[in-house]
Chain A
């Protein structure tokens, strides 16, 4: 069975700093997707970034980038130039190709301080 682990329950950084959120996962499958979702206090789940396992190049979306280490089963999220609006819960999630269902980490609460 797949598992996803986020080892940082809470992090806080100053505005404009760079922060890295950690995620590790366990699977025997070779093809899958990995995601980072953001959940602000509004409760809405918002896609931050996605990575396909067969792609070696790390995904980037503006200030957000990942460090995907397939052999180590690690998928960390780096947020550059952090902004107050980045304050939220961040969830790492694994999606199987077979049924497109998500397995989630427990989340990291990120607080950006002014």
Chain B
């Protein structure tokens, strides 16, 4: 099993450009989410999904868009990149276990907006 595959690992964008961070999981997990990690802060939730066709906003959704057309894929779109979106991004998936769950993470994307 590949687990959670997140691409790319690194990306540099110019202000105003758009891009999509890809995330795929092969564990048939219902729940998927995107977090951003900034220095001195814990991860913050951007958007999440509780199943195919269902998405919702997290703590810091502005400037980002998501969709969940399949169980496996949960891409994150930056509509018009801004320097404030410079961060490390993590995709994660989890499942509703019977007293036994955890979040599985992609390897992260370091995004720099110049």
The answer to whether A and B belong to the same complex is: yes
On A, residues with C-beta under 8 Å from B are 4, 6, 9, 33, 35, 43-45, 47, 50, 52, 55, 91, 93, 95, 99-107
The interface residues of chain B lying within 8 Å CB-to-CB of A47 are 102-103
The interface residues of chain B lying within 8 Å CB-to-CB of A95 are 94, 101, 103
Whether A102 touches B108, Cβ cut-off 8 Å, given contacts A43-B88, A45-B90, A95-B103, is no
* B50 lies within 8 A of chain A by Cβ: yes
Q: Which of A33, A45, A104, A107 contacts B105 (CB 8 A)?
A: A45
State the total of A-B contacts with C-beta under 8 angstroms.
Answer: 64
The residue in A35, A100, A102 that gathers the most chain B C-beta atoms within 10 A of its C-beta is A100
* B53 lies within 8 A of chain A by Cβ: no
Q: Are B94 and A106 in contact (CB under 8 A)?
A: no
Q: Are A105 and B31 in contact (CB under 8 A)?
A: no
User: Which residue from chain B places its CB closest to the CB of A105 in the assembled complex?
Assistant: B42
Q: Are A102 and B101 in contact (CB under 8 A)?
A: no
Q: What is the CA–CA distance of A35 and B41 in the complex, to the nearest angstrom?
A: 17
Q: Are B48 and A91 in contact (CB under 8 A)?
A: no
CB distance from A12 to the nearest CB of B (A): 18
The interface residues of chain B lying within 8 Å CB-to-CB of A52 are 99
Whether A102 touches B43, Cβ cut-off 8 Å, given contacts A44-B107, A95-B103, is yes
Q: Which of B50, B102, B105 contacts A99 (CB 8 A)?
A: B50
| Minimum-distance CB pairs A-B, first 9 | A104-B42, A45-B105, A100-B31, A104-B43, A100-B94, A43-B108, A106-B42, A47-B102, A105-B42
The interface residues of chain A lying within 8 Å CB-to-CB of B95 are 100
The interface residues of chain B lying within 8 Å CB-to-CB of A45 are 90, 92, 103, 105
Whether A107 touches B42, Cβ cut-off 8 Å, given contacts A50-B102, A95-B101, A99-B31, is yes
CB distance from B98 to the nearest CB of A (A): 10
The interface residues of chain A lying within 8 Å CB-to-CB of B33 are 101-102
* B113 lies within 8 A of chain A by Cβ: no
The interface residues of chain A lying within 8 Å CB-to-CB of B103 are 35, 45, 47, 93, 95, 100, 102
